[in-house]
């Protein structure tokens, strides 16, 4: 059965048409419509009238609560179906694509995301300002979080999924785009996008404001903290930056305390100390969940072997940086500082992926990466309140 969750806030003029179009679209399916209503106008009474005449329509009225994401979580908690879907209550999401989404689920999709930005789709329902805001939000998310790159439109707000995608997962209802939360924290393999045309709002008022936009940014930051793969990369870059500073500081100190020491010798010593610092910090913070905390002979051997691997990876990174700089500077005649910067970027990616796949790989299975927080509710969704 499909459980369609529709968060609403003061949408009294749209409820009648919305229900009629949903019923027509889903006439061949078993379904329930769950309205999670935060309204302070006649919307609640209108939905209540429909619910009295049709047991497939459910009303959850929340007093003194607002927030689209928390409303969706509330709907999931009360859903009876094994397939969940979400759409807005302002008719900008066309109910007519629900059967297409169901067919994709029936054919093996775990998560179906309608997109305005693939052939056949359109965001024509947005004015130029909202198009700019939407595009900015999308690209900020895609740049910072790897999982969001799997879909072209993670801010659309309409989607469908199998319930097991979020079974036992901690979903933090912050902001306005719960789909981002699911794409980052959910368990799914097959994500399918289908095109849709975003409609113009004819009745009611848009809920987009500065507060909502700031919540989106805060949500991105929160996901970065909770997404291990994304968090690791940025922490790794910060550790690498600290290594550069340590290298330069040690090099300067050696030059001051040991003026007779050769430049190459000082460079080797400062680089080695920086590598030791980087390894220690990566062990403590970047891969903190697999570092091991016991101080014994076995742990010493593990860290010695891992440190040896890290030195090889770092040396390979230095080689990559040198090759990039040489090619850009001598063959393409690019400024040496820009060439050096390009080399550092390439070396950073190389160091990160080799560290992830080789240096810190061996004990990964022995240490849990995620900790489950909160008790499961009836739907299997754990929500942080």
Q: Is the pLDDT assigned to residue 131 strictly greater than 80?
A: no
Assign a CATH topology to domain 2-226: Spore Coat Polysaccharide Biosynthesis Protein SpsA; Chain A (3.90.550)
pLDDT at 374: 39
Asked whether the beta carbons of 57 and 82 are under 8 A apart, the reply is no
- The SS3 call for residue 68 is helix
What is the secondary structure of 156-177 as a DSSP string? S--EEEEGGGSTT-EE---SS-
Which of 38-52, 193-207, 269-283 has the weakest average pLDDT? 193-207
pLDDT tens digits, residue range 171-227? Answer: 876 655 788 888 888 899 999 999 988 876 554 444 455 566 667 777 777 777 777
Domain ranges of the chain: 2-226, 229-366
Strand 57-61 and strand 83-86: the pairing is: unpaired
Distance CA 245, CA 250 (A): 9
Q: Is the pLDDT assigned to residue 362 strictly greater than 60?
A: no
pLDDT at 135: 75
Asked whether the beta carbons of 222 and 172 are under 8 A apart, the reply is yes
Could you tell me which residue, 235 or 15, shows the higher pLDDT? Answer: 15
Distance CA 269, CA 328 (A): 28
Could you tell me which residue, 145 or 227, shows the higher pLDDT? Answer: 145
Q: Given pLDDT bands bounded at 50, 70 and 90, which one contains residue 314?
A: confident
Closest by CA position to 371, among listed 205, 228, 165:
228
pLDDT at 248: 82
Counted residue by residue, the chain has a size of: 385
Backbone dihedral angles phi then psi of residue 341, each to the nearest 5 degrees: -65, -45
pLDDT at 212: 62
Q: What is the pTM of this model?
A: 0.67
Asked whether the beta carbons of 84 and 112 are under 8 A apart, the reply is no
Distance CA 253, CA 269 (A): 11
Distance CA 343, CA 337 (A): 10
Percentage of the chain with pLDDT > 90?
31
pLDDT at 176: 59
- The SS3 call for residue 353 is helix
């Amino acid at each position: 059965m499909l459980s369609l969750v529709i968060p609403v806030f003061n949408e009294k003029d749209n409820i009648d048409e919305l229900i009629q179009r949903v019923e027509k679209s889903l006439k061949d399916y078993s379904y329930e419509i769950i309205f999670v209503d935060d309204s302070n106008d006649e919307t609640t009474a209108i939905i209540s009238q429909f619910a009295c005449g049709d047991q497939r329509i459910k009303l959850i009225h929340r007093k003194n609560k607002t927030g689209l994401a928390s409303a969706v979580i509330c709907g999931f908690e009360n859903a009876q179906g094994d397939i969940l879907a979400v759409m807005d209550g302002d008719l900008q999401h066309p109910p007519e694509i629900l059967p297409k989404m169901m067919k994709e689920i029936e054919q093996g999709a775990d998560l179906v995301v309608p997109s305005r930005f693939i052939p056949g789709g359109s965001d024509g329902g947005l004015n130029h300002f909202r198009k700019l805001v939407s595009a900015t939000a999308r690209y900020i998310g895609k740049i910072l979080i790897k999982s969001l790159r799997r879909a072209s439109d993670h801010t659309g707000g309409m989607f469908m999924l199998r319930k097991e995608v979020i079974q036992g997962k901690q979903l933090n209802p912050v902001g306005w785009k719960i789909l981002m939360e699911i794409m980052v924290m959910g368990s799914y393999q097959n994500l399918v996008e289908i095109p849709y045309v975003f409609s113009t709002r004819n009745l009611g008022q848009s809920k987009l404001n500065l507060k909502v936009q700031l919540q989106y940014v805060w949500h991105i930051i929160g996901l970065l903290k909770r997404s291990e793969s994304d968090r690791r990369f940025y922490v790794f870059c910060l550790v690498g930056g600290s290594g550069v500073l340590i290298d330069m500081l040690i090099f300067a100190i050696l030059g001051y305390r040991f003026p007779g020491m050769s430049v190459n010798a000082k460079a080797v010593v400062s680089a080695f100390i920086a590598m030791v610092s980087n390894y220690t910090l990566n062990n403590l913070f970047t891969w903190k969940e697999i570092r091991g905390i016991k101080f014994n002979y076995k742990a010493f051997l593990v860290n010695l072997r891992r440190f040896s691997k890290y030195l090889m990876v770092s040396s390979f990174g230095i080689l990559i940086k040198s090759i990039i700089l040489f090619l850009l500077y001598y063959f393409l005649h690019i400024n040496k500082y820009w060439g050096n910067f390009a080399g550092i970027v390439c070396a950073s990616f190389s160091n990160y992926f080799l560290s992830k796949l080789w240096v810190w790989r061996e004990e990964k299975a022995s240490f849990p990466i995620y900790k489950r927080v909160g008790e499961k509710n009836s739907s299997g969704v754990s929500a942080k309140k």
